[in-house]
Amino acid sequence: MKDEQSGPLKLIFNYNDVFYSFYYDDLGGCTHRSREYAINYVYSGEMILDNGTGRIHVGKGECVFIPRDHHITMYKRTKDGERYCGIFLMFTRRFLREMYGRLGPRTVPADTPKPGPGVIKLPKTVELASLFASMTPYFDPDVKPNDDFMNLKLQEGLLALLHIDKRFAPALFDFNEPWKIDIMEFMNENYMYEFTMEEMAHYTGRSLATFKRDFRKISDLTPEKWLIRKRLEVAYAKLKEGGRKVVDVYAEVGFKNPSHFSTAFKKQYGISPTAAFP
């Protein structure tokens, strides 16, 4: 799981791929990516998920299913005077392989369709209510569960999903490599985020070696240099056409600090951004 955020005071505990989150201040927004399937339960407060086309509100006592490799923006906020607290169960591919071995091929009936590609708000069921009620004592950071107990909770969460909708089975138990997606489409949509080379390869459905080879076919630049140039081009357009200020633009396009942005800008355009756009 990867979150990119700054500002609010928060605590996150990971117990064998079960994450307990506490937010003591309202969160303006964080970019969230999970390489694995997951479910997120809101114990208190409120979570708003924005996928770019719509928003899903998740209130106290509600739970959502988050697909693998899905990109969303999360807002975690105080609601009715209660700070946000949540439980995030991550189903790794290793865990799902083990469970598939136990449950057997009958778990995935032939011709069963997969659920839609986005986040799904789950109905309130007895199984989910029982699962999360048994996990709430571990919001106390002084009470640490054993790994084998958390593994049982992951198993309960998986079974609860399968009982809610049989369409979850062919998605969760699909162990094929992800389909390749267009590299340039991915890069143009995600240039502002801080990816490692390995992450760029993963999110486009490639091995690292294949990603490097495919990228050489479409650009004379390395992926890192391509990203810098793309960020500079977008920043230049924002400064020129939008009348924006440097301090408002550099982080928006993916630079960590104004000094790094200014150095790269001057190298690209032969003049500092403040001199070009005073």
- pTM beyond 0.75, yes or no: no
CA dist., res. 14 & res. 31, Å (int):
19
Segment 186-206 shows an average pLDDT of 84
Q: Which of 202, 179, 178 is nearest to 190 (CA)?
A: 202
Structure-block tokens of residue 197? 């080379």
Mean pLDDT, the chain, integer: 86
Out of 91-100, 154-163, 166-175, 234-243, the most confident range is: 154-163
Give pLDDT, residue 127: 96
Burial track 62-72 (b if 16+ CB lie within 10 A, e otherwise) = bbbbbbbbbeb
Lowest mean pLDDT among 28-32, 103-107, 192-196: 28-32
pLDDT digits (tens, 9 = 90+) for 153-185: 999 999 999 999 989 998 898 876 555 678 888
Whether residue 91 has pLDDT greater than 80: yes
Whether residue 124 has pLDDT greater than 90: yes
